[in-house]
Amino acid sequence: MATQHSRSAARLMMAPAVILLLGWMLVPLTMTLWFSFRKYLPLRGGDQGWVGFENYVRFVSSSSFWPSVQTTLIIVGGVLLITVVFGVLLALLLDQPMWGQGIVRILVIAPFFVMPTVSALVWKNMFMDPNNGLFAHLWKFFGATPVEWLSQASLPSIVMIVSWQWLPFATLILLTAVQSLDSEQLEAAEMDGAKPVQRFGFIILPHLARAITIVVLIQTIFLLSIFAEIFVTTGGAFGTRTLTYLIFQRVLESQNIGLGSAGGIYAVILANIIAIFLMRIVGKNLDA
């Protein structure tokens, strides 16, 4: 049991790390908050003073705000749905004994190690290009007109690219969970006459609940700030402008730091609302 003395020593030793981490988060957050109340236009003479809540009102009343929130939620929801469903299926598949299992698993996991910008470029130029892309050639081979993926099916295309990147993560976590399932339980169910669908619904899926929760929580955190894939492929056009992308446009393209910072604060609030919502709905699975 720790003594009063050792506890003090532990606190003292942890203090630098805690201060550093707090500073790491608090300094940018405080600066964003500070700038969000100021008229700060670098191309127009810099910081021009206090404007109260003007930036907040302008950001939220802009015609781009609600569509960007909607786009963000569609992308996050779409990617979560695809990665969880296919992640479970792939995990079950990879759990089966097969020849070359190690190599197959590495190949499945590989996309996760590709940089988002690189994967977006590869998808854009090698697969989705309507003139020279692989999909265009496939479509033409079957006598169909090539799909203009990034302009006509822009949101599904982005969801597809991001899902491809995040599927390995989901698969990996879910595979670990599948492997921890007691095989005797499944055998017993089988002997009792449970069909495969029943075994999946009543044994495997409940067992995977915690892992799915982890996948959903972690992915949501990252997907809310998705940027590179949109920047490289559509540049925010064709209805793919997420909240993060809108903030980027306000700060970097319009060079309006105040307005963009107000957007940043809205993004923090939105992320927290979603996090609380998720914790309430799915987080209870983690209590057990």
Partner 1 sequence: MSIKTPLFLASALAIAAGTSAWADGHATTLTIATVNNGDMIRMQGLTDDFTEKTGHKVEWVTLEENVLRQRVTTDITTKGGAFDIMTIGMYETPIWGANGWLVPLDDLSAEYNVDDLLPAMRAGLSYEGTLYAAPFYGESSMIMYRTDLMEKAGMEMPDAPTWQFIREAAAAMTDRDNEINGICLRGKAGWGEGGAFITVTANSFGARWFDEDWNAQFDQPEWKEALEFYVGMMEESGPPGYATNGFNENLSLFQQGKCGMWIDATVAASFVTNPNDSTVADKVGFALAPNSEGVEKKSNWLWAWALGIPAGTQKEAAAKEFIEWATSTDYIELVAANEGWANVPPGARTSLYENDNYKDVPFAKMTLDSILAADPTDPTVKPVPYVGIQFVAIPEFAGIATEVSQEFSAAYAGQQSIDEALAKAQALTNDAMEAAGYR
Residue choice 109, 148, 199, 209 for contact with partner 1 (CB under 8 A): 148
Residue choice 23, 28, 42, 206 for contact with partner 1 (CB under 8 A): 42
Cβ of residue 26: shortest distance to partner 1, in angstroms? 21
The conformation of residue 249, written as its DSSP 8-state character, comes to I
Pattern 111-140, partner 1, x by CB under 8 A: ------------------xxxx---x----
Residues in the chain, how many?
Answer: 288
Cβ of residue 124: shortest distance to partner 1, in angstroms? 8
Cβ of residue 129: shortest distance to partner 1, in angstroms? 7
Long-range CB contact pairs, 92-96, < 8 A, 24+: 92/178, 92/204, 94/171, 94/175, 95/175, 95/178, 95/179
Q: Per rule CB under 8 A, is residue 187 in the interface with partner 1? A: no
Q: Per rule CB under 8 A, is residue 238 in the interface with partner 1? A: yes
3 state DSSP class of 82: helix
Cβ of residue 146: shortest distance to partner 1, in angstroms? 6
Could you tell me which of 209, 222, 220, 226 has the C-alpha nearest to residue 274?
220
Given the rule CB under 8 A, which of 149-157, 166-174, 180-188, 208-216 is the region that contacts partner 1? 149-157
Nearer to partner 1 (CB atom), residue 220 or residue 234: 234
Longest dimension (CA), the chain: 79
Q: Per rule CB under 8 A, is residue 146 in the interface with partner 1? A: yes
Q: Per rule CB under 8 A, is residue 256 in the interface with partner 1? A: yes
180, burial (CB in 10 Å: exposed 0-12, middle 13-18, buried 19+): exposed
Residue choice 94, 108, 150, 177 for contact with partner 1 (CB under 8 A): 150
Strand partners, 47: 40
Gap between the Cα atoms of 72 and 125, Å rounded: 24
Nearer to partner 1 (CB atom), residue 168 or residue 236: 236
Gap between the Cα atoms of 179 and 72, Å rounded: 34
Gap between the Cα atoms of 240 and 253, Å rounded: 17
Q: Per rule CB under 8 A, is residue 91 in the interface with partner 1? A: no
Cβ of residue 168: shortest distance to partner 1, in angstroms? 28
Angle in degrees, CA 77, 214, 210, rounded to 5: 115
Cβ of residue 239: shortest distance to partner 1, in angstroms? 6
Nearer to partner 1 (CB atom), residue 161 or residue 167: 161
3 state DSSP class of 215: helix
69's tokens: 């929130």
The residues of the shown chain that bind partner 1, judged by CB under 8 A, are: 41-44, 58, 62-64, 129-132, 136, 145-146, 148-152, 154, 234-239, 241, 249-250, 252-256
